[in-house]
């Protein structure tokens, strides 16, 4: 599965921002709107709460055959048999994560510099999350990546790239000629009153439909 992932519209969940009562509802609406990958991000949950939420969300992603990526927590990813894990620069190194989870799972790595991107690919990452492309309320401490740096990263690595950080209907047009593989979106989908419609519009605009 991991070699055939469509990264076009990659949703990162955030319980603090979602317009729905449950994460499961937000995820299902996002998938119905066209989201192609779901990353479950639970920054403030206990391990047990994160695990239980992941179990419920995986029932939905499995039903629609959409890959489920767990943010940061290798243990949770393994516990629920998620499709993969996404790690940042302050998490376990990609090379170590690969030893733990094996060759069949997806590993995504956050990168904001050319050096980080090259290292991630070398360490066995399957895709990169490059950003923050714009300042964003979901990650106030994130360093903003220039378009020039993004283009350097695209030229240097072969693995797929999704851009993240302030991605919405207004900003996605700036990535038309950057050779990226998808958009990682948080509030532009999950905070909207009609999540399904918001996802559909973003995907259509990204694909130029």
Does residue 132 have a cis peptide bond before it, meaning omega lies within 30 degrees of 0? yes
Tokens of 155: 């030229």
- Report the alpha-carbon distance of residue 166 to residue 169 in Å, rounded: 10
For the annotated catalytic residues, the residue numbers are 41, 110, 139
Q: Which positions ≥6 away from 143 have C-beta within 8 Å?
A: 112, 132
- The half-sphere exposure of 151 on its side-chain side, counting CA atoms within 13 A, is 8
Q: Is the distance from CB of 106 to CB of 67 less than 8 angstroms?
A: yes
Name the β-bridge partners of 163.
130, 183
Q: Which positions ≥6 away from 141 have C-beta within 8 Å?
A: none
Positive or negative CA dihedral for 65, 3, 147, 132? positive
Helix orientation angle between 195-207 and 23-32, rounded to the nearest 10 degrees: 40
Placement of tokens 């997806």 in the chain: 106
């Amino acid at each position: 599965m991991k070699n055939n992932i469509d990264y076009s519209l990659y949703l990162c969940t955030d319980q603090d921002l979602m317009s729905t009562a449950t994460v499961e509802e937000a995820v299902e609406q996002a998938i119905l709107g066209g989201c192609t990958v779901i990353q479950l991000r639970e920054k403030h949950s206990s391990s047990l709460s994160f695990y239980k939420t992941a179990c419920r969300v995986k029932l939905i992603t499995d039903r629609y055959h959409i890959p489920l990526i767990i943010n940061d927590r290798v243990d949770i990813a393994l516990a629920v048999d998620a499709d993969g894990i996404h790690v940042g620069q302050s998490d376990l190194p990609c090379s170590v994560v690969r030893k733990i989870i094996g060759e069949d799972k997806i590993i995504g790595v956050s990168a904001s510099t050319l050096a980080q991107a090259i290292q991630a690919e070398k360490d066995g990452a399957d895709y990169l999350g490059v950003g923050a492309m714009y300042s964003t309320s979901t990650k106030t401490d994130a360093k903003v990546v220039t378009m020039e740096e993004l283009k350097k990263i695209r030229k240097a690595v072969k693995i797929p790239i999704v851009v993240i950080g302030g991605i919405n209907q207004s900003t996605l047009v700036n990535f038309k000629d950057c050779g990226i593989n998808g958009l990682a979106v948080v509030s532009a989908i999950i905070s909207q009153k009609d999540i399904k419609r918001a996802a559909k519009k973003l995907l259509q605009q990204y694909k130029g439909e």
